Amino acid sequence: MRALLSVSDKTGLVEFARALYELGVELIASGGTARVLQSTGLPVTTVEQFTGSPEILDGRVKTLHPAIHAGILARDTDADRQDLERIGAKMIDIVAVNLYPFKKTVSQRFVTLKDAIEHIDIGGVALIRAAAKNFERVAVVSDPCDYDLVLKDLRQHGHVTLDTREVLALKAFAHTAEYDSAIRDYLMGLSPASAPVVTLTLHKVQELRYGENPHQQATLYSLNGSCDGVLGAKVLQGKALSYNNLLDLDAAWRAVSQLEQPAAVIVKHNSPCGAAIAKDLSHAFRAALLSDPISAFGGIVAFNRTVDLATVEALGTLFLECIIAPGFAAEARHALAERKNCRVLEVQDPEACRRVKWEYRSVLGGLLQQSVDHGDPAGAEWRVVTQAKPLDADWPVMRFAWTICQHVRSNAIVLANRLDDAVATVGIGGGQPNRVDSVRIAGQHAKERAKGAVLASDAFFPFADGVQVAAELGVRVIIQPGGSVRDAEVIAAADAAGIAMVFTGARHFRH
């Protein structure tokens, strides 16, 4: 019995190879895999020795050889054995191969196209597909997690059983399909043109208790092979996440990850109801909570810094479904443990959110795909269009309000103001069929805090009525995209009220 080993991920490799050797399996290995095994003293036949041909093209061609592929693809027939004998090849019974880490390579911030191309595995994919195709005789191992499964069969039966080979083959084809999809997705991301065919590989993470409502079935899938869950976050405490929890966590983390200063964002029903930036997280949370303390009950809060004990104490007795952050101090973890019904999630890769390029949404019979809205596109310019000009102190408040507005459901209106040492939302209105109602709702939450506030609108004002209501609330600055056929009327209404208005040139609908 022979095994071909050619792995990029060398987790468990030496232990697996040693166990195979002890079971009487001849070891064949390529390149770095052979060197690792030889360094441990294991007897290994290199691919060059097995084929009689050296590696060429700087290692691009190693295993692409008739002796290798004939040994894998040969069936258990006299005719195939005669063909192998004619070319001096031997049967290969186990193929353990995993591929160059293409997804890991292209996820790096400064990766070049040349680097990405060099991490497209050719020989490995060919080996996996050949072995999977011939699963009736060959066992293909594309995941180090399956080494023990193969060894268990060998020890119990003297061979890898057909049932195991079928499972491994299915997993192998799924592996190469995902790999090809990753390459396609990366190359598609280099071009503004959308691909005519898109293949999504989804990894089942867990069955959910139910969907948005108890009578709906639901499952969580991950787009990455690690299956770490939503946003790669680790659940530190609390019961299993629900469908609605996952949606709210996504909304909260997307929003808070766009803020540079210490920030807190509270989300309820998939839309922010309070947000703030301050000198530290505890002050940010207190300011965010003032925006809408009623809606915050039973909500989700996201922080963009490590949560300390002072921040946990700032939560007071407020009931929260989930807390998500990039880290938690030991004292904070201990204090949060007393909140038995609160899930606590630690984001493993805080920068991952910024690297996501595409998002998908289902419609009946299909999917909508769009590039992720990471903020104003290149070329968008802010310009003051009114007689009144924003003060220097207004610009940080405008930038904050504009960022939060991008995460509120359309029609979105955000009122923001300075609260002591924080910049915070004081009123949010969203999800309304018309913009003026959103202004009114934001004003109802803000009350007196609307005076002197900045108002951000995710899209242009189609009429002057929204500006007129803002003036009645005491708003001093408005930031909006502009672009309405009635911009002149809207600007005139702002001038009449003494409101400074800035056009951004970029719209941020979120339906």
Q: What integer pLDDT is reported at residue 182 of this predicted model?
A: 78
Helix (H) or strand (E) holding 396: helix 394-405
State the burial class of residue 121 (Cβ atoms within 10 Å of its Cβ: 0-12, 13-18, 19+): buried
Q: Is 133 a catalytic residue?
A: yes
- The string of DSSP letters for 262-326 reads SEEEEEETTEEEEEEE-SSHHHHHHHHHHH-HHHHTTEEEEESS-B-HHHHHHTTT--EEEEEES
Cis peptide before 244 (omega within 30 of 0): no
Task: Give the Cβ contact number of residue 406 at 10 Å.
Answer: 23
* Residue listed under structure tokens 């659940």: 235
- The string of DSSP letters for 18-36 reads HHHHHTTPEEEE-HHHHHH
- How far apart (Å, rounded) are the C-alpha atoms in residues 159 and 155? 8
The ranges of the chain with pLDDT < 70 are 59, 189-195, 224-231
CA 298 to chain centre: 25
**Which two three-digit tokens encode residue 283?**
């002050």
Give the chain's radius of gyration (CA, Å): 29
Task: Give the Cβ contact number of residue 356 at 10 Å.
Answer: 13
- The answer to whether 314 and 208 have CB atoms below 8 angstroms apart is no
Q: How far is CA 244 from CA 43, 310, 354, 490, in A?
A: 55, 28, 23, 38
**Which two three-digit tokens encode residue 73?**
């693809």
Q: What integer pLDDT is reported at residue 172 of this predicted model?
A: 93
Helix (H) or strand (E) holding 355: helix 352-355
Q: Reply yes or no on domain 380-503 having CATH 3.30.1280.10.
A: no
3-state secondary structure of 456: strand
State the burial class of residue 481 (Cβ atoms within 10 Å of its Cβ: 0-12, 13-18, 19+): buried
Q: Reply yes or no on domain 2-189 having CATH 1.20.120.10.
A: no
End-to-end CA distance of the chain: 59
Nearest to 179 by CA among 242, 240, 236, 122: 122
Percentage above 90 pLDDT, the chain: 66
Q: What integer pLDDT is reported at residue 444 of this predicted model?
A: 96
Q: Where are the beta strands (DSSP E) in 2-150?
A: 2-7, 26-29, 45-46, 94-98, 139-141
Q: Domain extents for the chain? A: 2-189, 203-355, 380-503
- The answer to whether 310 and 456 have CB atoms below 8 angstroms apart is no
Q: Is 157 a catalytic residue?
A: no
Q: What integer pLDDT is reported at residue 225 of this predicted model?
A: 56
- How far apart (Å, rounded) are the C-alpha atoms in residues 311 and 305? 10
Q: What CATH number belongs to 203-355?
A: 3.40.140.20
Q: What integer pLDDT is reported at residue 111 of this predicted model?
A: 76
Task: Give the Cβ contact number of residue 194 at 10 Å.
Answer: 11
Q: What integer pLDDT is reported at residue 373 of this predicted model?
A: 92
Q: What integer pLDDT is reported at residue 194 of this predicted model?
A: 62
Q: What integer pLDDT is reported at residue 356 of this predicted model?
A: 81
User: What's this model's pTM, rounded to 2 decimal places?
Assistant: 0.74
Q: Which of 10, 90, 171, 269 is catalytic?
A: 269
What angle (nearest 5°) sits at the alpha carbon of residue 185, between those of residues 179 and 187?
A: 105
Q: What integer pLDDT is reported at residue 192 of this predicted model?
A: 55
* Backbone dihedral region for residue 298 (phi beyond 0: left; psi -120 to 50: alpha; all else: beta): left
- The answer to whether 235 and 343 have CB atoms below 8 angstroms apart is yes
Q: Which of 90, 133, 159, 203 is catalytic?
A: 133
